[in-house]
Every structure is written in C-alpha cells, then in structure tokens.
Amino acid sequence: MARILFVNPPMLFNSEAGRKKGTGAIRPNVSVPALLILGKLKEKGHKIFFIDMAAEGQMHSKRVRKNIFRFGLENKELTKKIKKTRPDVVLVTSLFVMNMEMVFEAADITKKVSPKIKVIAGGGFASQTPLWHLENKNIDFVVLGEGEGIISRLIREIENKKQNFGKINGIAFKERGKIILNEKPGSSKKFNPYFDYEAVLFKENGEYRYPEKITRKDRLYKSNLPAKTRSCVFYGSRGCPMGCEYCSSFQREGKKIRHMGGKKLFGQIKLLHEKYGVDVFYNQADAFGLHKEDKIFLELMGKYRKKKPKIVLYNPNAFFLRIFFNNGKINKKFVLLLKKAGFNVITLAIDTFNQRFNSKMDFKKISFRMIKNLCKFIKKQGLKIDIYMMHGFPGETIEELENDIGKANSLKKIVDEISTGFLMVFPGCSYYKKAISEKWFTEEEYKKKIKEGYSFSKLNNFFNFTKIPAKKLERLIGASKI
C-alpha cells in the first residue's frame, strides 16, 4: 500500500479581494476533494496524510507582487510535512484559476524533497486545463473529472512494476516527452461517498482545523456560538441542471443531480455533531434544495434540532431563487422547513435581473414584486437575508447595470446584505469557449493576465467585456453594496 499526502495549497488574492469583511484573513473552506479522495484511499488501505496550507495559515499573508497577496503556511512547512510523512504520492488540489501557481509551487517543493515522489493534480480547474498543468515539469499526472472514481486505479498502477497508464480512463500524463490525454469517463450514476473526517478535520496534535470563526463568510453569518465552535461542510449531491454560461462545474459533473439520499446526509450531520462536536455546517452542493431528497434531509434536521437546537446550517453559495416559488406563489412551507432545520441566514442567488444574462429563472414567471414579497416573508420569520448579485456580463450595457443596481437598491431596506461579485470567465465554461472562439483573448494572454490578479471581488480591466468603462463599473457597483 502507498503512502499518500494530500495538499491543499495556499491561496492568492488581489489585495483585499477574498478577505472576510472586518478581518485580515481569508475564509478557508473544509476541503470537499480531500474528504472524498482520502476517504476512498483509506477504504483501499493506503496510508494517508493531509495538510491544508490555506486553513492552517489563514492569518499569514505576504505580498508576492503588486497587489497580489499569498495567504497560507510558508513553504518550509510543506517541506517538513513531506519529510516527516515520506509519501510515495502527493496529491495537490487545483480548484481555481487564480491558484494555479500555488499548485505548481507545491509540486516544485515536492520534487525538491524527492524527485521519486509522484505528483498528481486534480480538482475542477485541473480537470479543465490538464495541458496547462502538465506543462509544469514536476506534475506527473492530472486526474480528469470525479477523482475518487479514478485515483485508486491510478495509484495501483503507479505501484505496479509493469506500468500501463494508457489503460486508465480519466487521466492525463507524460510519456516519452509527450502529453497523453486518456478519455474522460462519464459521471458515475450514483453518489455514494465515504468521507474521511478524521484525516481532514484534525491536525496531528488533535487540534480542530476549522473553527467556525475562520470559516464563516462574514459577520452576517456569525452563529453567536462560542469562538471555538467547530464547523464542517455537508455535501449531499453532485450535478447541477442550470447550465449557467459562467460555470464549468456542470460540464464536469453533469446536469443530472445524483443524491446520496436525505437519510444518509442527515446521518453525516448526526455523526459530525455527536462524534466530532461540530455545531455549524456549510452546504457545498451546487443544487441544494432542488432534489426531493433535500426536503427529506431538512425534515429530519427539523426533528433533530428539537433535541439539538445549537446546530446551525448555512448555504453561503446561495439557493436558486426558483425553489422558493410553486405555481406562481411563495413556497412558505419550504422557508419554514429551512428555519426549523437550522438556517438563520437565507442566501438568495439572483445574479442579475436582466433576463438575457440569467438562465436560472424566467422573470415573466417570477417577477421582481414576487421576489420582494419573498424577502418580506423570510424576514417575518426572523431570518436574515443575503442577496447575491453578479456584474460584468459580456456585452452588458450601462442601462442594464443601472436596472440591476436600481432593483437591488430597492431591496436594501428589507435584506441584511447585498453581496456582489464580478463575473469570472473560467476555462471550460461557455463564456470562455466563446472568448477563445471570438478572439477576446488567447490562452497565453489569459494565463499571463491572471497573474496580475483575477477574482470575484476585484475587477481586472483586461477581463472587462462589458460596454462600461472599468472605473465606472466599479464605482457603480461599490455604491450599491450594503
């Protein structure tokens, strides 16, 4: 059996972009890829280790170039970890475009310790750009798609004396100076994961990695529980039917929702609360609330919280607005179900009120007045509201932006927070494909420009594809926030 170290690398941000409001730190998430992958490898009998450089060093930042800051443990800590654990394989998660150089840095450090260690990159961004990752001489393999179904086969082949990587679907690798892309397998028909909570949630000294005070989105999401309250994610399904042009996840995971089941998801929460003392939970599934099994989960949580009222649930990635309406009326039962289950903030993904940029909802069926009435009903239940808006759509006009801002401003007296973000064009998404096709930029220009900073919170003028000057766009959006 192999010795395997999973590395969640540090994070890069444009100056203040990505920092939690009112703090000097980033907001780290519990690594879902680590939970999934390490769970699978542990099940197969491998010796596993984990380091979350972003979470464990989230208060440590340093400037790496103009307006770009690195958050996380120093590289010497990774070197120590590799020397101590003596892995045969190092897995590095590559989820976001801005973090690509941190993935490369982790690979470089690994090979400096021992060139014999095999380095495997995986995650959403790596899946979309395997060639970019394999251009780095220290990355040996890239896993494409859902890693837990592929990784154990790849490691088994690495251990073989007579290796044949060509027979493993869903990987990219280098062979005799050439990059080989093996066919990506389709999404698995079922989602039946095994999560390794102990490896991910606890440091070697027994300290809990993810106290609620560092994982909350911002002050609105403060649970009012003690500072050392433990938090974790819950992740009950894969796949998203929305097919948004700015998102690439549905192309990786498919549009069909595959759910582990409401009872099993509830069992995960119960285990985390009773065995590991976790009280605060953040959803990480893209389509939470759309599947009937989510309703079963919420009903079970409502009953459980009668005995365990401290438990708090959040969905900082936001609910799709359409799930709050049924045949043109507010689905009041669903709002009350969320409240009983432990939600105290309802995060609503509106994105934009301009129909040509919003494929998630039909504004002829869900009017602005209906949305406003929904917010009023949610507030009457004693719940807080965070509205998520997105700006900077390709071709967006000043009139369209002002329409968005005007409607958002009219909600200010009702909602608690309006979170705004700039649209990002990710490799693999429809907008990126269109950009390459219509020559908005080349791949090389894209790779060069992201090093100057690219995030939801800070506009890079190179990626402004609206019809609005960048300074005016930033000024108008800044004035619309609560």
Our CA dihedral for 169, 236, 6, 74, rounded to 10 degrees, sits at 130
| pLDDT > 50? residue 291 | yes
Does 191 fall in a domain? no
Does 140 fall in a domain? yes
| 171 and 231 together in one domain | no
Supply 475's token pair. Answer: 């000024």
| pLDDT > 70? residue 16 | no
Does 248 fall in a domain? yes
What's the mean pLDDT in 67-80? Answer: 93
What CATH number has the domain bearing residue 136?
Answer: 3.40.50.280
| 128 and 214 together in one domain | no
Domain span at 159: 3-181
Q: Work out the angle between the directed axes of helices 332-341 and 292-304 (0-180°, nearest 10).
A: 50
Q: With pLDDT > 70 as the criterion, what percentage of the chain qualifies?
A: 96
What CATH number has the domain bearing residue 447?
Answer: 3.80.30.20
Indicate the pLDDT class of residue 186, thresholds 50, 70 and 90: low
| 281 and 163 together in one domain | no
Residue 480's pLDDT is: 59
| 13 and 137 together in one domain | yes
Does 196 fall in a domain? no
Supply 432's token pair. Answer: 């990126």
Indicate the pLDDT class of residue 470, thresholds 50, 70 and 90: confident
| 264 and 338 together in one domain | yes
| pLDDT > 50? residue 151 | yes
187 alpha carbon, distance to own chain's centre: 19
Residue 21's pLDDT is: 43
**377/239 Cα distance (integer angstroms):** 30
| 435 and 299 together in one domain | yes
Residue positions counted in the chain? 482
| 268 and 129 together in one domain | no
Does 205 fall in a domain? no
| 281 and 175 together in one domain | no
Question: In this structure, how many other beta carbons lie within 10 angstroms of the beta carbon of residue 31?
Answer: 25
Residue 68's pLDDT is: 87
pLDDT in tens, 245-274: 998 887 778 889 999 999 999 999 999 999
Domain boundary among 181, 202, 219: 181
427 alpha carbon, distance to own chain's centre: 15
**57/24 Cα distance (integer angstroms):** 12
| pTM score | 0.93
List C-alpha distances in Å: 17 to 97, 211, 352, 425, 445. 15, 22, 21, 17, 22
Q: With pLDDT > 90 as the criterion, what percentage of the chain qualifies?
A: 76
Average pLDDT in the chain: 92
| 127 and 253 together in one domain | no
What's the mean pLDDT in 22-39? Answer: 80
Residue 249's pLDDT is: 80
| 133 and 23 together in one domain | yes
3-class secondary structure, 92:
strand
Indicate the pLDDT class of residue 15, thresholds 50, 70 and 90: low
pLDDT in tens, 213-253: 889 888 899 888 988 999 999 999 999 999 889 988 877 78
If one counts the domains in the chain, the total is 2
| 176 and 216 together in one domain | no
List C-alpha distances in Å: 113 to 83, 90, 95, 164. 7, 12, 24, 26
| Cβ-contact 51, 8 below 8 angstroms | yes
Residue 355's pLDDT is: 96
| pLDDT > 80? residue 104 | yes
| 157 and 232 together in one domain | no
